[in-house]
Amino acid sequence: DADVTQTPRNRITKTGKRIMLECSQTKGHDRMYWYRQDPGLGLRLIYYSFDVKDINKGEISDGYSVSRQAQAKFSLSLESAIPNQTALYFCATSADRGSGNTEAFFGQGTRLTVV
């Protein structure tokens, strides 16, 4: 089983609909992240959480919200989806060692299409 699991893997939704992407991890990491990937832009950080009570906006948080339901679960919501939110979304986790020198582990991604 994957250490970082994202559901769904693919989703097509209509403009204006609310949608939630879910992420769960079995690595026991405190830190979790949501990124989106667009062609030519790499991955950009949407939100991150360093523990259950800590939620922070990333580079491109407008139009998104998150919930950290437990150490192992971090969900991303689009309250009212719009076509330019069509992208590949990745959840990631990392250990908290008080510094940046730990690697991030990524889920398989969720391909979201907003029509």
Partner 1 sequence: AQSVTQPDIHITVSEGASLELRCNYSYGATPYLFWYVQSPGQGLQLLLKYFSGDTLVQGIKGFEAEFKRSQSSFNLRKPSVHWSDAAEYFCAVTSNNAGNMLTFGGGTRLMVKP
Task: Give contact residues for partner 1 (rule: CB under 8 A).
Answer: 4, 31, 33, 35, 40-45, 48, 50, 58, 90, 92, 94, 99-104, 106-109
Q: Is 50 left (phi over 0), alpha (psi -120 to 50) or beta?
A: alpha
Alpha-carbon distance of 97 to 84, in angstroms, equals: 36
* Residue 42 beta carbon to partner 1: minimum distance, rounded to whole angstroms: 4
State the nearest-atom distance from the C-beta of 105 to partner 1, in Å: 8
- Residue with smaller CB distance to partner 1, 14 or 90: 90
Query: Are 33 and 50 a contacting pair, CB within 8 Å?
Result: no
Nearest distance in Å: CB 60, partner 1: 12
Instruction: Kindly list the distances between the CA atom of residue 18 and the CA atoms of 2, 40, 60, 69, 86, in Å, as whole numbers in the listed order.
Output: 27, 27, 18, 18, 13
Amino acid letter at 25? Answer: Q
User: In the bound complex, what is the minimum distance in angstroms from residue 20's beta carbon to partner 1?
Assistant: 19
Q: Considering beta carbons, is residue 41 or 80 the nearer one to partner 1?
A: 41
Q: For partner 1, which is the closer residue by CB, 15 or 108? A: 108
